[in-house]
Amino acid sequence: MLPTVLPVGNTHGMRREAGEAIGAVGIAVLAVVAFLGLSAFGLYSMGDRPSPESPPPTWPPDRYAESPTCASIAARMPALPPLITRAEAVAQAPDPASTRVVTSCSWYEYGKPANTVYLYLSNSLVPGSGAGESTAKTNFALAPGENVEPIPGLATAAAFYDEQGYPEQCWIKLYQGNVYAQLYVNGDPDKATCRAAVKKLAVAVTEALN
């Protein structure tokens, strides 16, 4: 039996059909690969996308809008000598997010120890930022002084400290809310009575703040 011989023209047609079929399959495979690639990229992008930033924390408004006056402090200490110096000035704040006003009061009478108060009021430029109290707290922590001794129960925080080279002075530093204060009594060589006097002055300041 003789083998069947296909015409040359039919062979080309079959090859063309097979090629088209292979091409179609290839395109379909490429489409699937592209889809999977885009899907994977989308999932990666969603997972890698940074989460929205949390809003900054907020604090209550500054506790004090102004410092107590020298008169309001003296009203709580009838035994104070006469007021001889009173000053108030805007000063540069160490924190650019706050402003600062410095108030000073001095009471003195010849033959008696002098009493002096410096009040540093720091107000936040942005309400609720907490910059005012943060500045007062930082000032308290960084204030120079020797032999720092905390005073429990006075203001937000308070401490006795010594100024080197001034044996007849007794100092207290404290902060309450957004006010930082330095107080000292000068001219009392007795350490015990000197400290008692400056603590009374500190109590008068905190009461005037309240």
Overall number of domains in the chain: 2
**What SS3 state is found at 187?**
coil
Examine the domain organization and report whether 139 and 204 are in the same domain: yes
- Same domain assignment for residues 45 and 74: no
**Helix, strand, or coil here: 95?**
coil
Torsion of CA 28, 30, 35, 40, to 10 degrees: 150
- 201: nearest Cα among 111, 103, 70: 70
Domain of residue 35 covers 9-49
| Tens of each residue's pLDDT in the chain, 210 residues | 433 333 334 434 433 443 444 344 344 433 433 443 434 434 334 444 555 576 666 778 999 999 999 999 999 999 999 999 999 999 877 778 889 999 999 999 999 999 999 999 999 999 889 999 999 999 999 877 788 999 999 999 999 998 878 889 999 999 999 999 999 999 999 999 999 999 999 999 999 998
Judge if 162 and 117 occupy the same domain: yes
| Dihedral sign of CA atoms 185, 188, 191, 192 in order | negative
Other C-beta atoms closer than 10 Å to the C-beta of 33 total 10
CATH number, domain with residue 83: 3.40.1000
First-to-last alpha carbon distance for the chain, in angstroms, is 123
One domain, residues 189 and 87: yes
Same domain, 177 and 106: yes
In a domain, 186, yes or no: yes
Contact 95, 149 (CB under 8 A): no
Residues 96 and 43 placed together within one structural domain of the fold: no
